[in-house]
Chains A and B, each alone.
Chain A
Amino acid sequence: MNRRNFLSFAGGLVALSVIPIDLRAEDYRKLKPDVWTATTIDEATKALYGVKEVIETDLIKINVPRINSSGATVPVDFETSIDAKTVALFQNANPESAVAVYDVSKYDLKKYSVKIKMAKDGLIMVLVEGTDGKIYMAKAGTRVAAGGCEG
Chain B
Amino acid sequence: MANKISAVKIKIKDNVASVRMAISHPMTTYAQAETQTGNPDDANFITHLAGKVGEEVVFDVSTSQFFSKNPIFSFEFKCDSFKIGRKLSGRELDNGVERKESEVGDFLTIVATDRKGNTYEKSEELASR
**Cβ–Cβ contact A29 & B77, under 8 A:** no
Interface Cβ pair total, 8 Å cutoff:
116
Chain B residues within an 8 Å CB radius of A91: 66
Q: What string of 1s and 0s marks CB contacts (under 8 Å) between B37-51 and chain A?
A: 000000000011010
**Cβ–Cβ contact B60 & A115, under 8 A:** no
**Cβ–Cβ contact A117 & B73, under 8 A:** no
**Cβ–Cβ contact B61 & A107, under 8 A:** no
Among B28, B56, B63, B67, max chain A CB count under 10 A is at B63
State whether the Cβ of A34 lies closer than 8 Å to any Cβ in chain B: no
Interface size range on A against B: 35 or more
State whether the Cβ of B120 lies closer than 8 Å to any Cβ in chain A: no
20 intermolecular pairs with C-beta atoms under 8 Å apart: A26-B62, A29-B48, A91-B66, A94-B29, A96-B64, A96-B66, A98-B64, A102-B61, A105-B57, A105-B60, A107-B78, A107-B81, A109-B75, A109-B77, A112-B73, A113-B72, A113-B74, A113-B75, A114-B67, A117-B67
Residue numbers of B with Cβ under 8 A of A are 16, 27-32, 35-36, 47-48, 50, 52, 55-69, 71-79, 81
